[in-house]
Amino acid sequence: MKQENMLFTPLYIGTKTAVNRIAINAMECCDSDENGNPTETTYRRYERHFEGNSGVIVLEAITVSYESRSRLHQLSVMPRNSKALSKFVSEMKKINDKPLFIWQLTHSGELSHTDFSRRVCVKPLPGFGGDLLSEEEVEKIMDEFVLAAKIAHDCGADGIDFKLCHGYLGSQILRPYNDRKWKYGGSWKNRTRFAYETYERMVREVNDPDFLIGSKVSIWEGFPGGQGSAGPDTAIMDLTESLDLVKGLEQRGAKFIIVSAGSPSITLALSQPDRRIPDDAYLHHTFQKAVKDSLKKKTAVIGSAYSVFRNGKNNLLAVKPEESSLEYWGNKNIKDGVCDMIAIGRQSLADSLLPKKLEEGKSDEVNWCTACDNCIELLIRQRNVGCCTYDKPYSEALKKIRREEGALKGKHT
Ligand SMILES: Cc1cc2nc3c(=O)[nH]c(=O)nc-3n(C[C@H](O)[C@H](O)[C@H](O)COP(=O)(O)O)c2cc1C
Ligand code: SF4
């Protein structure tokens, strides 16, 4: 008898149902207009995601503050964006009303770009820094998150992912490195105050039990003082705080946790294992299982970092290709209680139609992400982002940038 493929079974998240167990992870692509509204390019990307029929689509990191942001053309969620965002949701739902549309709300903090915005920090980190945030400023940012959640709700989103990962402000406050003596630093109680109070307010003020509030969390950032490390000056892994965090979020109403790791500006290969160093993808399984075991069964655990497995043709050693694919690990991990759903990041740029194609048994028609990381190079350069392997305009754009930079280097040597 043929075994059931768990990837194509429904998943209950809060009061809603995801039609399958594949989510599109948040992927910022730097193509909004100058007010932070979606452009034609943004529409094109999401139209393809909605056609792909995944259970959940997470809208890329959308900033709650235009004053401090990491991307020049970053989507933003403020009252002035409401009309454009409402239209965006209704157009997407016309294409396919099944995927749950969750928006990732963010504040970039010390990752805000100084060329066009104000960089702020909770405690200067070597190589980053910025203006030191006061307690009043943090409280204003909490107001911005709550307002953004209400806007997302009123625009028709199914929920929000309050970003607590990858070194953005939500992570910066939680880190042991934030040992500054203030209301939001030092003790674990102080470092979780921002996340917990914002959650409590979002749940209370949105006041809709059907609205899904959850978070993407970096369980271990992998550098001294990062989230999940044993202290402010050590990188030694100690998951006590990270696991306490997800439990605290669940108690405050989180309906899902997207498990991630690393801080891409510092530990990129941990966040998104690449084809040269694919092995950390396994570490994510350990983190997903640890979160799953810490939570009550009703909170959905969504795992990241599956793209590098591809169709089994990858650089992972000591495994049979048929037991090393994204589909194999997704199915197995759900079956084994490691996670409830898998999220695809880079693979969603390479081929948004992956869920549909796999469900129809057309794995050989998928454009498999090569985990080359050329797309992140576009993001780092503040350009429109897309797949440089399968999407010609983006590969051409990258070639042009590299040519121009090569010419510039030539002039200076
Ligand atoms: C171009 C690019 C943009 C990304 N944007 C976001 C983002 O907006 N928010 C986020 O939490 N993670 C972001 N990520 C990380 C992915 O969501 C995901 O966690 C990571 O790529 C690992 O998953 P994968 O192996 O499926 O790619 C981005 C990654 C890339 C390459
Ligand atoms: S550019 Fe490379 S890493 Fe990025 S989506 Fe395309 S194949 Fe994947």
The backbone region for 54, taken as left when phi is positive above 0, alpha when psi lies in -120 to 50, beta otherwise, is: beta
Residues 380 and 337 in one domain: no
Query: Which ligand is the nearest neighbour of the Cα of 69?
Result: 1
- Grade residue 4 by pLDDT with cuts at 50, 70 and 90: confident
Mean pLDDT score, 142-161: 98
Task: Report the nearest-CA residue for atom 2 of ligand 2.
Answer: 372
The number of beta carbons lying within 10 Å of the beta carbon of residue 274 is 19
Residues 131 and 222 in one domain: yes
Within a domain: residue 342? Answer: yes
Query: Which ligand is the nearest neighbour of the Cα of 350?
Result: 2
The tokens 């999401």 sit on which residue?
A: 46
Q: What is the predicted pLDDT for the residue at 413?
A: 43
What domain range includes position 214? 6-366
Q: Is the CB of 304 under 6 A from ligand 1?
A: yes
Considering the chain, what percentage of its residues have pLDDT values greater than 70?
98
Residues 186 and 289 in one domain: yes
Tens of pLDDT, residue by residue over 301-330, are 999 999 999 999 999 999 999 999 999 999
Task: Return the CATH number at 308.
Answer: 3.20.20.70
- Residues with CB under 6 Å of ligand 2 are 346, 349-350, 369-375, 387-389
Tens of pLDDT, residue by residue over 225-253, are 999 999 999 999 999 999 999 999 999 99
Instruction: Show the tokens assigned to 97.
Output: 């009303």
Q: To test ligand 2's pocket by mutation, which of 346, 373, 398 has the most ligand atoms within 8 angstroms of CB?
A: 346
Q: Is the CB of 260 under 6 A from ligand 1?
A: yes
Nearest atom (ligand 1) to Cα of 379 = 1
Q: To test ligand 1's pocket by mutation, which of 73, 272, 274 has the most ligand atoms within 8 angstroms of CB?
A: 272
Give the C-alpha separation, 229 to 234, whole Å: 6
Give the C-alpha separation, 410 to 17, whole Å: 56
Instruction: Show the tokens assigned to 266.
Output: 């510092």
Within a domain: residue 1? Answer: no
Mean pLDDT score, 267-283: 97
Whether the CB-CB separation of 93 and 85 falls below 8 Å is answered with no
Residues 57 and 15 in one domain: yes
Query: Which ligand is the nearest neighbour of the Cα of 58?
Result: 1
Residues 403 and 353 in one domain: no
Residues 181 and 38 in one domain: yes
Q: Is the pLDDT of residue 411 over 60?
A: no
Residues 384 and 253 in one domain: no
Q: How far is the CA of 82 from the centre of ligand 1 (A)?
A: 25
Task: Report the nearest-CA residue for atom 25 of ligand 1.
Answer: 305
Task: Report the nearest-CA residue for atom 18 of ligand 1.
Answer: 345
Give the domain-ending residue among 330, 346, 366: 366
Q: To test ligand 1's pocket by mutation, which of 24, 25, 58, 102 has the most ligand atoms within 8 angstroms of CB?
A: 25
∠ Cα 201 203 207 (to 5°): 115
Give the C-alpha separation, 369 to 365, whole Å: 12
Within its chain, how far is the Cα of 261 from the centroid? Answer: 10
Within a domain: residue 325? Answer: yes
Instruction: Show the tokens assigned to 169.
Output: 């402000």
Of 166, 144, 354, 341, the C-alpha closest to 257 is 341
Tens of pLDDT, residue by residue over 29-81, are 999 999 999 999 999 999 999 999 999 999 999 999 999 999 999 999 999 99
3-state secondary structure 54-92: CCEEEEEEEECCCCCCCCCCCCECCHHHHHHHHHHHHHH
Nearest atom (ligand 1) to Cα of 60 = 8
Q: Give the chain's domain count.
A: 2
Q: Is the CB of 308 under 6 A from ligand 1?
A: yes
Whether the CB-CB separation of 257 and 296 falls below 8 Å is answered with no
Residues in CB range of 308: below 8 A, 6 or more apart: 272, 273, 274, 275, 278, 281, 314, 316, 369, 371
Q: Is the pLDDT of residue 282 over 50?
A: yes
Helix 240-251 and helix 280-294, axial crossing angle in degrees, nearest 10? 50
Residues 84 and 34 in one domain: yes
